[in-house]
Structure 1
Amino acid sequence: MGFFSSDKYTKPGKGIEKDGKQKRPLFRFFEILWRKKYKFIGINLIYVLLNILSPVLVCGIFYVAISLYGAFSGSADWAVNLLESGQISRYFQFMLFFAVFLTSVPIFAVGPLQAGFSYIMKSFVKEEPCFLWHDFITKSRSNRKLAWQVSLINGIAATVLILNFTAYLIISDPKGPYAGVIPGFLLFIVAFVIIALFMILVMMNLYMYNMMVTFKVTLRQLYKNSFILVMMKWLPNLLMLIFEGILIAIPIFLIFTKYFDFIVTLVLYLFITPAFIGFLNNFYIYPTVKKYLIDNPNADKSENGGTDDNAAVAAEEKTSTGRFENGMWIED
Structure 2
Amino acid sequence: MIYTITLNPSIDYVVQVDQLNLGELNKMENEMMFPGGKGINVSRVLHELAYDTTALGFLGGVTGDFIAGELNNKGIRTAFTPIKGDTRINIKLKSGSETEINGRGPEIPPYEADDLLHQLEHVTGQDMVILSGSTPPSLTDDFHQQMIERTVESGAQFIIDTTGDSLKSVLPYRPLLVKPNKDELAELFGVTLSDQDDVIYYGKQLLDLGAQHAIVSMAGEGALLFTEEGIYQGQAPRRQVKNSVGAGDSMIAGFSGKFTETADVMEAFRMGLAAGSATAFADDLAKAGDIFPLQDKIDITRIAK
How does the TM-score come out when normalised to structure 1? 0.24
Higher relative contact order (CA 8 A, sep 6+): 1
Larger Rg over CA atoms:
1
> Whose strand proportion is higher, 1 or 2?
2
> Whose helix proportion is higher, 1 or 2?
1
How does the TM-score come out when normalised to structure 2? 0.25
